[in-house]
């Protein structure tokens, strides 16, 4: 069984909400990012979204954009990200999703990235800027190697389109709570419950919500009708300030409280 499926099944049995954390590989160096990622996992992450740095991260706000720039300046590339996954897999069984943009994966080759991602020990890919209609060329090799193509669903996604996307994807549905780019926000979206209820009507996949969660109180509010929350910008900032473990513990306490 794919580790993502296994983790969400275990969370459901335990009556717990999942914590999905995003950190950029190579920010500010591979060694430092690995240390911060290890600290985050040890402090309570359930799923790791490992950011593949890209020169034009169009869906991301300034915090993650700047993290990508630092990682690229340090020479981080996709081969080194896969090597990082291998090192993490030696010590942790947490699901790992490579989070990135189409260009690096296309340049690497879709069959090659699927095979090498599986060999490294990751569990899926989330490709921010790949329209579902153009994703079959990647989804096929991912399926062949037992990996999930994790979907993004926006507040503006029509129900029929959401059903199509979710039917062809796996792992969990990542629901974006706001229109716009990533970044911490002051409050959880008012229409979150309504949108999640609609999604429950078209998919049996676990639903994780993100784009804006920055502390334990927000995590608890966002997770009320979801299976997990995703935290990115706040974790990236915390990693810069060497307080990632404290933030993960606060988020975990909010979800478990």
Of 37-41, 57-61, 64-68, 236-240, least confident by mean pLDDT is: 57-61
Count Cβ atoms below 10 Å from residue 13 Cβ, excluding itself.
8
Catalytic option among 5, 10, 32, 49: 49
What secondary structure does DSSP assign to 194-230, as a single string?
HHHHHHHTT--S-EEEESS--SHHHHHHHGGGSSEEE
Please say if the pLDDT value at position 119 is more than 80: yes
- The H-or-E segment that residue 84 falls in is helix 78-91
**7 pLDDT above the threshold of 50:** yes
Mean pLDDT for the chain overall: 94
Section 4-27 average pLDDT: 98
Q: Please compute, for residue 29, the number of CA atoms within 13 A of its CA located in the half-sphere on the CB side.
A: 3
- Check 46, 60, 123, 250 and give the catalytic one: 60
The whole-number pLDDT of residue 186 equals 47
pLDDT band for position 185 (cuts 50, 70, 90): very low
Does the reported pTM lie above 0.75? yes
60 counts as catalytic: yes
Known catalytic residue at 49: yes
* Span 124-137, pLDDT tens digits: 999 999 999 999 99
Q: In whole angstroms, what is the distance from residue 139 CA to residue 111 CA?
A: 10
CA proximity to 234, closest of 180, 185, 181, 189: 185
Indicate the length of the chain as a whole number: 257
- Residues 148 and 206: their CA atoms lie apart, in Å, by 13
pLDDT category at 184 given cuts 50, 70, 90 is: very low
pLDDT in tens, 209-223: 998 899 999 999 999
Domains of the chain: 18-256 (3.20.20.70)
- Asked whether residue 187 carries a pLDDT value surpassing 80, the answer given is no
């Amino acid at each position: 069984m794919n580790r993502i499926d296994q983790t969400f099944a275990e969370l459901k049995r335990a009556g717990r909400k999942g914590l999905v954390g995003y950190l950029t590989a190579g920010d500010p160096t591979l060694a430092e990012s690995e240390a911060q990622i290890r600290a985050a996992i040890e402090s309570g992450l359930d799923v790791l979204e490992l950011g593949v740095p890209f020169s034009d991260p169009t869906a991301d706000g300034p915090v993650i954009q700047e993290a990508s720039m630092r990682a690229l300046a340090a020479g981080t590339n996709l081969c080194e990200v896969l090597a990082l996954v291998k090192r993490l897999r030696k010590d942790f069984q947490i699901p790992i999703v490579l989070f990135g943009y189409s260009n690096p994966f296309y340049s690497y080759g879709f069959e090659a990235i699927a095979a090498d991602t599986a060999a490294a020990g990751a569990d899926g890919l989330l490709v921010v800027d790949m329209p579902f209609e153009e994703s079959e060329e990647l989804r096929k090799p991912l399926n062949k190697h037992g990996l999930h193509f994790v979907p993004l669903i926006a507040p503006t996604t029509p129900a029929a389109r959401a059903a199509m996307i979710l039917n062809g994807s796996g792992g969990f549905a990542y629901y974006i709570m706001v229109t716009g780019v990533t970044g911490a926000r002051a409050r959880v979206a008012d229409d979150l419950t309504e949108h999640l209820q609609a999604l429950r009507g078209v998919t049996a996949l676990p639903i994780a919500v993100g784009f804006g969660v920055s502390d334990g109180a927000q995590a608890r509010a966002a997770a009320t009708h979801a299976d997990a929350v995703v935290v990115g910008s706040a974790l990236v900032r915390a990693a810069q300030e060497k307080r990632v473990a404290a933030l993960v513990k606060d988020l975990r306490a909010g979800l478990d409280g």
